Structure 1
């Protein structure tokens, strides 16, 4: 089979060669493109004679897939697959897998990092200490003793909850499908409205689905404490971000730490959150650590080997 990695995976070339060796040892051809392209003509050219393609978070639309007549399997080295032309996959009966789990710790740590920045005003302090008109020290807050509301208790939500618990927080959660491991961790399940009303820190860990788009809306911000903060390292459209900016600017909630938006960065200059009060913004880097990239690459190549052995894993239902 001809197997093509269509974009870099942010790991050293030597690791790619190491992971590709078992594929080549089985008699298959492995081709690695070291430069990402968003040009659809180029993507189609790279894909046209491939039996298997591996991508990360680069869009891989229907018009490209339809030109890849030999394609049997798309291996996504990422958690979400909403950037792949799913209709074409269904029509052509192409298998699809992902690399879920590679960034659980990375995302969880960023959630806590954004919380610490909001509570201890780290970014603000860094700017002010460099200012010749330094206004003097300021008073922050602690995670210890706070109520953390975890919205979504899958794997990332649970890792995040564990970190907050280590700081001494009390945990409550909302999830349509309660997780026994969450109960074992001491998490109390409540309704969504109850979690929003009780929590000092709300952290989001839901997938983007029709049922979750805009879930955290203007009326939900009305339920939250004025001292509460919102952390979103999940998917941007889960939140009505214009309503979030309004809630921040009017003091309806105290702050927000946001890594995901309604679009991928760069963000348009008129995007409401860019000028909202007490918002710490990062450019969708929750998944992006050295350690997570290595885990991702290993999972993705393991997926290929499993497919070649006739036992495909981490398949996404279409």
Structure 2
């Protein structure tokens, strides 16, 4: 059996291979590519003889899946699998496991970093103090007492809700699946959007959530509200959000994800919109999270080899 780690996983090469050898059978051949490529031909060449491929967010399209003739299992070092041709995997009998849970703490941390930066004008404050200025016009807001909306209550959404509770927020949630969680009140989407001071998105990207937050939804939000998106870029209509920000219909936004992976074009509407904090899809990327992720990647492979697959998509 052959495992191909088809791209870097954010862990030091030596440590990553040591982890793989410690966690996986000695007779499993392991090939590691520590450079990232995106073209279909090279990906097929790298994975052509692989029984198992470990991949992070490279575009594993149908041509790649079909071209990797021996492929039986994909261990995806990501929570979402919208970059994986799942139909092709199903047609070819390829099992797909993800790494749910590795970035729960990391993503929730960034959510509140963005909120506090927006609420306390941290970037403008940093700029003005370096220009010998004062706090004039930069008085901010507190989190305590605010209505905090969480859309999508999976693991990350629930952790975000718990932290919001700790800050003294009233947490409202919208999700297809309601859970009995102390401190969270489930409401319909319209109620959440119209009531909340902060709305944080934590949904996967699928046919139901693509364009979930568009012009109509943004119009229901308070002009004083802020929107945080650390889920997937296409969940939000970027042009509509930029328009709402530029015309004072929304107070601010924290955006970690876009329609494509970084680098993001300079003329993207959200990069020129008012009061936006933008980060390059970094919410999941902490040293601790990336090491947790590598452990899950190899544990997924090990469990599959033993006939007890886990985290199956």
TM class by shorter chain equals: over 0.9
Aligned partner of 1:203 among 197, 200, 210: 200
Q: Against the structure 1 CA distance between its residues 23 and 157, is the aligned structure 2 distance closer, same or farther, given a 3 Å change threshold?
A: closer
2:105/2:159 contact within 8 Å kept: yes
CA contact 1:24–1:30 (8 Å) conserved in 2: no
Q: Shift of residue 135 of structure 1? A: 5.2
Moved more, 21-30 or 267-276: 21-30
Note if contact 1:149-1:201 (Cα within 8 Å) is conserved in structure 2: yes
> Is residue 253 of structure 2 the alignment partner of residue 261 of structure 1?
no
Give distance in 2, aligned partners of 1:25 and 1:215.
Answer: 44
Cross-structure match for 1:296: 293
CA distance in 1, matches of 2:16, 2:135: 50
Residues 172 and 41 (structure 1), Cα distance of their counterparts in 2 relative to 1, 3 Å cut:
same
> In the alignment, which residue of structure 1 is the partner of 2:44?
44
Residues of 2 paired with 1:205 and 1:62: CA distance?
Answer: 27
Secondary structure of 2:199's partner?
strand
Name 1:220's counterpart in structure 2: 217
Separation in 1 of the partners of 2:28 and 2:243? 55
- What secondary structure does 1:65 align onto? helix
Please state how far the C-alpha of 1:117 moved relative to its aligned partner: 0.5
Structure 1 residues 139 and 31 mapped into 2: Cα distance closer, same or farther (>3 Å)? Answer: same
Unaligned residue ranges in structure 2 (runs of 5+):
none
How far residue 269 of structure 1 moved from its aligned partner, in angstroms, is 2.6
Are residues 112 and 24 of structure 1, via their aligned partners in 2, closer, same or farther at CA, if it must alter by over 3 Å?
closer
**Secondary structure at the residue paired with 1:54?**
strand
Paired position in structure 2 for 1:243: 240
CA distance in 2, matches of 1:102, 1:243: 32
Greater CA drift, 78-87 or 99-108: 78-87
Q: Secondary structure at the match of 1:66?
A: helix
Count of residue correspondences:
312
Q: SS of the residue aligned with 1:231? A: strand
2:218, 2:39 → 1: CA distance? 40
1:8 and 2:8 aligned: yes
C-alpha separation in 2, matches of 1:172 and 1:203: 11
1:18 is displaced (CA, Å) by 2.4
Say whether the 8 Å CA contact 1:144–1:169 is kept in structure 2: yes
Q: Does 1:152 align with 2:152?
A: yes
Please state whether the residue corresponding to 1:211 is helix, strand or coil.
Answer: coil
Matches within 5 A, 1:6-155: 6-22=6-22, 25-131=25-131, 134=133, 136-137=135-136, 138-155=138-155
2:82 touches 2:206 (CA, 8 Å); kept in 1? no
Q: Secondary structure at the match of 1:202?
A: strand
Q: Deviations over 1:224-278 (max 9, x none)?
A: 1111111111111111111111111111111111111122222223221111111
Superimposed CA distance per residue, residues 38-69 of structure 1 (whole angstroms, 9 cap, x where no aligned partner): 13222111111111111111111211221211
Give how far 1:218 is off: 1.0
Query: Equivalent residue of 1:108, what SS?
Result: helix
Task: Give me the whole-angstrom Cα distance separating, in 2, the residues matched to 1:34 and 1:82.
Answer: 23
Contact 2:106 2:284 in 1 (8 A): yes
Report the equivalent of 2:279: 282
* Structure 1 counterpart SS, 2:148: strand
Structure 1 unaligned regions, length at least 5? none
For the Cα contact (< 8 Å) 1:154–1:179, is it kept in 2? no
CA contact (8 A) 2:23 2:299 kept: no
TM superposition shift of 1:23: 5.7
Q: How far, CA to CA, are the matches of 2:287 and 2:308 in structure 1?
A: 29
